[in-house]
Amino acid sequence: MIMNSLTRWQRPDLAAWPTFGKLFGLRDELDRLFESPFSELARGSQLLSVWNPALDVYEDKDNVVVTAELPGMKKEDIDVSLHDGSLSISGERKREEKFEGAETYREERFVGRFQRTISLPSAVDGAKVKAQYKDGILTITLPKAEEAKPKQIEVNVN
């Protein structure tokens, strides 16, 4: 009689096999890819619909810059806050009631409250943060704190 035994899989030591680190990164990317269709499915359902504006985050040597697409919103309806290395953008896009008494054939624009919170890649100087809203695009410039900026170190020859 042959007896099969199951052994629980354990992640190998990455130091021993450096190529496995790339495989785990690929697995994470695939996980994100498969989560994406579910967000598209949620858009079609009124019960599951949630508006999450698209964000871009850029970093250079002096600043972290976040841009968010917020079309059709007024600046008074947008809130931006910074807390413990996280940036939060929230607000509410209200429904336009221009077509009273008309039959709706298609409604794809999201309305309602939203909140996006992201962890910032570097420490920033909260006192110097600037936000600009123009043509439906919110641009937040977060100057890096001095300790987060790259430092040039001079090498002396003896």
Q: Which of 112, 4, 97 is nearest to 51 (CA)?
A: 112
How many other CB atoms are found less than 10 A from the CB of residue 64? 22
Cβ distance 118 to 81 under 8 Å? no
Say yes or no: 73 and 122 in one domain: yes
How many other CB atoms are found less than 10 A from the CB of residue 93? 20
134 occurs within a structural domain: yes
Say yes or no: 88 and 145 in one domain: yes
pLDDT in tens, 87-112: 999 999 887 777 777 887 787 778 88
How many other CB atoms are found less than 10 A from the CB of residue 121? 13
7 occurs within a structural domain: no
Q: What is the mean pLDDT of each run of 10 residues along the chain (158 residues)?
A: 62 57 71 60 49 91 94 92 93 80 79 91 92 96 84 80
What is the distance between the alpha carbons of residues 66 and 52, in angstroms, rounded to a whole number? Answer: 15
pLDDT at 141: 96
pLDDT at 77: 92
Domain extent, residue 40, equals 15-50
Say yes or no: 80 and 136 in one domain: yes
10 occurs within a structural domain: no
pLDDT at 47: 43
What's the pTM? Answer: 0.62
Q: In CATH, what number is assigned to the domain containing residue 123?
A: 2.60.40.790
Say yes or no: 39 and 116 in one domain: no
Can you name the residues that pair with 133 across neighbouring β-strands? 138
Please state the domain count of the chain.
Answer: 2
Strand 137-143 and strand 130-134: the pairing is antiparallel
105 occurs within a structural domain: no
pLDDT at 69: 95
158 occurs within a structural domain: no
Say yes or no: 86 and 131 in one domain: yes
pLDDT at 44: 47
The secondary structure element, H or E, covering residue 114 is: strand 112-119
Say yes or no: 34 and 81 in one domain: no
What is the distance between the alpha carbons of residues 65 and 25, in angstroms, rounded to a whole number? Answer: 25
Secondary structure of residue 23 in the 3-state scheme:
helix
In the chain, the percentage of residues whose pLDDT exceeds 90 is 39
Say yes or no: 60 and 90 in one domain: yes
Say yes or no: 30 and 80 in one domain: no
Say yes or no: 31 and 70 in one domain: no
Cβ distance 95 to 111 under 8 Å? yes
Give the neighbor-by-neighbor strand order of the sheet with 112-119: 78-83, 86-93, 112-119
pLDDT at 37: 54
Say yes or no: 37 and 71 in one domain: no
